[in-house]
Each structure stands twice: as structure tokens, then as C-alpha cells.
DNA sequence: CAGCTAAGCGGACACGTGTCCACTTTATCG
DNA sequence: CGATAAAGTGGACACGTGTCCGCTTAGCTG
């Protein structure tokens, strides 16, 4: 972590790539890696060196959004019972996914890589918080974990914009009902 | 449907492509369209003319499997109440998805195209049968449709083989619980 | 300050997908 | 049977992703 050898220019390149990525994401609908590289004035090799996959890049670009989402969790848990709190939080997640479709897909994919590495990542951790609270209370079935929920939430990725309003919210409720522990 | 003009050789090409596709799917893990074209002795253009997307091709290759799945539905509905019948059918679907992962993804994607075209396709129709029976009985919530269920089922596509046994069945139950109508 | 070493660079390349269009073939019709 | 129109063909091409490797250059070392 502490200052690997040649950080000066490498870090600058990394920053430039990120900057370029933000611009491209903001302006264009399509996010093409080589375009980002060109705009940042670096070769693809450099881009891929800093961000091994497209998901890694997008995840970094939107790290702040994820942080905001994560930060909202404790407040919800303090004010509501676990299940309603989770419902509200997922509403926020879904809202976000609606606006930033492509990004959400990327984040989800990245998240999936985290899971392979036996790390839940910030989103997974947050989900676990809700789930644990619900399990302790006895309202959430004890046999599921954050990974399961993420799997189910994946539908948000595939939902066409046109179908969004009609289905997203309702399906969230279906999932929440499924998570409920029927004593 | 009845004999468009130049069917003779075109149909033969189509058959050869299908034949080649079956061989490739059976032998290789990777399914590359251009390999199929080469093996069939046709150009890519011809392949894409007959099957506009990779899903269309795969769907045709596995049409029989889908038919089998669809054919199993009436029997289940005759012997069981709607919800348990659906549970068993989804078990079969999941079982199939486990063995033929790539295929399932392709079928799902194709199915999604059907839905865009306002046609449910055979799988969608079958699901609707179960859902309608359950709604009539009052055990399935009335506000969901086949499309919703397919959306939720999408997790099967993303599930890693290693995780399969641990999660697939359980998540099926979570979904079924979510579909249940709590009066 | 000069020389060294490896971290870092960047673009050429390989690969798969899907599109396009000039050419070929075949069914029909006079 | 020969002309014709259009259905069909096939491969070249454009594009995006991701990899690879020889060259550059920053930062240490004496």
C-alpha cells in the first residue's frame, strides 16, 4: 500500500484514465474502453494494467455512489425494523439501478468477482447487516445469505427500461416476501 | 410457411448448419459461430441469414429439450396443486440448467427476445399455465406474470457450477414463497 | 551525476461477433 | 428452352475486447 516504487507518473496515468472514464460515461451512452484509453492519452495496455476488467474501471468510477448507498444503511436500520429497512434500502438500490443501468450491471459483475475471492465487498457487507438483523429478530429466514439476495437482485440488470416502472418495485416485494421467515 | 420460393438448397444449408451446430455443441465446450459456419461449409453470412442471433441457433438446436420440458407441465398440474406442481416443474428446469448451463443462458436470452415481440414463447406459455391455475385457486399472487418469474429465474444463469448445489434449490423455494399469495 | 534496473508504457495483434454487398443460382414465365 | 428477377450465398470487413512484448523512463545507488 505505502508508495510502491514508480508511483508518480503511474498514479497520474491512473487518474487521467479515471477522469477520461468519467467524461465518457457522462457524455456517451456507449462506454468503449479503447475510447477511454484514447481520450486519456494512454495505450490500451496501460488501461488494462490499471483496471484488469471493464468492471474494475466502472466500479472505481462509481465508488462514491456505492459508498453513499452503503452509508444509508445504518440510518435505515436504526429507524425501522430489519425487513422494512431492507425494503427501503433495496428501493434505493433499485432507484439507482434505474438511472444508471449500465453502471449497475458493471457493479454487479465486479461484486461477483469479489464473491469469488471470498470477500463480500461493501454491498455484500451491507446486505449482511440487514439480513443478520432480520435473522436475529426471527423475521428473515436463516438459511439465506447476502450472496443469495444479490443473485435474485440480478433481474434488475436485465429489465428493459420500458418495463422498469411496471415490474421493478413489484418484484422487489416478491423477493422480500420470499426472504421472510414463516415461523 | 408453405414453400417459399427457393427452398431446396436453402433448406439444405439450414439443415447442415444445424447439424454442424449439434456436433460442435456436443464436442466442444466453446461454441463459436464461425466454427459452426466453417464446419457446415457455409459463409458466416449464410449462418446469420438463417439464424439472426446465436440464441436463435441454440434455441433451434435445443428445441426438443424445451418441448420435453413443456410437455411435462400438464401431467404435473393434473397430479398436484398448482404451487407444488410449479415447484416440481421449476426443479426440472433448474436440473436442466445445471447440466446444460450455456444452453440455458442462450434459451433464456432467446426467450427474452420473444417477450420483446409480445409473444411469451413455449416456456412463457407453460409458466402462465401454472400461474393461472394458482391464481384461480388463490394460492398465487395475482399481480405477477410469466415474465416476472423468468426474470427472477435468471439467477440460474449466473450461478457458478461450484455454488450450484448449495444455492439453486434453496433460491427456488425463496422465489416460490414470494409468489405465494398471502391472503 | 552517471549507470542501472525493473516498473510502466503503448500500440500491434489475435479473436469472436455481427454486417454488408457484389456475385451466383434457381424457380418461373413467355 | 432462354431470359429474368429475386432469393440466397460467402467472405471481406468493421468493431470491441483483451493480451502480449519490446521499448522507455523514473527513481534508486554508488
What does the DSSP assignment read for A141-160? -TT--HHHHHHHHTHHHH--
* Strand C–CB B102 distance below 7 A: no
A6 touching chain B per CB within 8 A? no
For residues A42 and A127, state if they share a domain. no
Ordered per-residue pLDDT tens for chain A, 183 residues: 444 556 778 899 999 999 999 999 888 888 899 999 999 999 999 999 999 988 889 889 888 888 999 999 999 999 999 999 999 999 999 998 888 777 777 777 777 777 766 777 888 999 999 999 999 999 999 999 999 999 999 999 888 888 888 899 999 999 999 999 986
State how far the alpha carbon of B62 is from the alpha carbons of A57, B57, B77, B153, in Å: 37, 9, 24, 19
With cut-offs at 50, 70 and 90, classify the pLDDT of residue B149. very high
For residues A19 and A82, state if they share a domain. no
More confident residue, A2 or B7: B7
Query: Residue B151 corresponds to which cell in the numbers above?
Result: 426474470
Residue B127's CATH number: 1.10.357.10
Beta-carbon separation of A144 and B174 below 8 A: yes
Predicted confidence at residue A20, as pLDDT, reads: 95
User: Do B143 and B102 contact (CB within 8 A), yes or no?
Assistant: no
The domain containing residue B21 runs over which residues? 1-52
B5 pLDDT exceeds 70?
Answer: no
For residues B40 and B124, state if they share a domain. no
Predicted confidence at residue A127, as pLDDT, reads: 95
B138 pLDDT exceeds 90?
Answer: yes
Per the document, the length of chain B is 183
* Domain stop point among A52, A68, A87: A52
Q: How far is the CA of B46 from the C1' of C20 (A)?
A: 12
- Nucleotide with the nearest C1' to B7 CA: D7
With cut-offs at 50, 70 and 90, classify the pLDDT of residue B1. very low
Query: Residue A100 corresponds to which cell in the numbers above?
Result: 444508471
Beta-carbon separation of A148 and B141 below 8 A: no
Predicted confidence at residue A169, as pLDDT, reads: 95
Minimal Cα distance from A182: which residue of B? B177
B113 pLDDT exceeds 80?
Answer: no
Q: Which residue is nearest to nucleotide D21 (CA to C1')?
A: A45
Predicted confidence at residue B26, as pLDDT, reads: 86
For residues A121 and A145, state if they share a domain. yes
Q: Which residues contact A146 (CB under 8 A, 6 or more apart)?
A: A120, A123, A124, A125, A127, A128, A131
- Nucleotide with the nearest C1' to A14 CA: C8
Residue A10's CATH number: 1.10.10.60
Q: Which residues contact A15 (CB under 8 A, 6 or more apart)?
A: none
* Strand C–CB B6 distance below 7 A: yes
For residues A59 and A71, state if they share a domain. yes
With cut-offs at 50, 70 and 90, classify the pLDDT of residue B159. confident
For residues A31 and A115, state if they share a domain. no
* Domain stop point among B29, B52, B75: B52
Q: Total structural domains in chain A? A: 2
Q: Which of A141, A143, A174 sits opposite B144 (nearest CB)?
A: A174
Predicted confidence at residue B69, as pLDDT, reads: 93
Predicted confidence at residue A7, as pLDDT, reads: 72
Predicted confidence at residue B4, as pLDDT, reads: 52
For residues A34 and A123, state if they share a domain. no
Predicted confidence at residue A1, as pLDDT, reads: 46
Chain A neighbors of B144, CB-CB under 8 A:
170-171, 174
For residues B48 and B78, state if they share a domain. no
Q: Which residue is nearest to nucleotide D8 (CA to C1')?
A: B10
Residue A180 backbone phi and psi in degrees, to 5: -60, 140
For residues A88 and A158, state if they share a domain. yes
Closest CA–CA distance from residue B177 to any residue of chain A (Å) = 5
User: Do B107 and B93 contact (CB within 8 A), yes or no?
Assistant: no
> What whole-number distance in Å separates Cα of residue B150 and Cα of residue A45?
39
User: Do B167 and A147 contact (CB within 8 A), yes or no?
Assistant: yes
Closest listed residue to residue A62, CA positions, set A4, A123, A3, A114: A123
For residues B71 and B40, state if they share a domain. no
User: Do A39 and A24 contact (CB within 8 A), yes or no?
Assistant: yes
Query: What is the interface size between A and B, counted as CB pairs within 8 Å?
Result: 74
For residues B61 and B45, state if they share a domain. no
Query: Residue A163 corresponds to which cell in the numbers above?
Result: 418495463
Predicted confidence at residue A5, as pLDDT, reads: 57
Cell 439501478, residue? Answer: A97
**Mean of the per-residue pLDDT values of chain B:** 89
For residues B66 and B48, state if they share a domain. no
Judged by DSSP in three states, B140 sits in strand
Predicted confidence at residue B182, as pLDDT, reads: 81
User: Do B24 and B35 contact (CB within 8 A), yes or no?
Assistant: yes
Q: Which of A112, A116, A174 sits opposite B178 (nearest CB)?
A: A174
Amino acid at each position: 500500500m505505502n508508495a510502491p516504487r514508480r508511483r508518480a507518473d503511474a498514479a497520474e496515468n491512473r487518474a487521467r484514465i479515471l477522469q477520461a472514464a468519467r467524461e465518457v460515461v457522462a457524455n456517451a451512452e456507449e462506454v468503449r474502453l479503447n475510447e477511454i484509453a484514447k481520450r486519456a492519452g494512454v495505450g490500451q495496455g496501460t488501461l488494462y494494467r490499471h483496471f484488469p476488467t471493464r468492471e474494475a474501471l466502472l466500479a472505481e468510477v462509481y465508488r462514491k455512489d456505492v459508498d453513499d448507498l452503503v452509508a444509508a444503511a445504518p440510518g435505515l436500520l436504526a429507524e425501522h425494523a430489519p425487513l422494512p429497512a431492507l425494503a427501503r434500502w433495496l428501493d434505493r438500490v433499485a432507484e439507482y439501478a434505474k438511472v444508471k443501468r449500465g453502471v449497475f450491471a458493471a457493479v454487479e459483475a465486479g461484486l461477483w468477482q469479489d464473491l469469488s475471492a471470498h470477500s463480500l465487498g461493501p454491498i455484500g457487507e451491507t446486505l449482511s447487516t440487514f439480513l443478520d438483523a432480520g435473522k436475529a429478530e426471527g423475521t428473515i429466514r436463516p438459511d439465506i445469505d447476502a450472496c443469495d439476495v444479490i443473485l435474485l437482485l440480478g433481474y434488475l440488470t436485465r429489465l428493459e427500461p420500458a418495463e422498469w416502472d411496471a415490474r421493478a418495485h413489484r418484484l422487489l416485494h416478491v423477493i422480500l416476501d420470499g426472504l421472510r421467515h414463516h415461523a
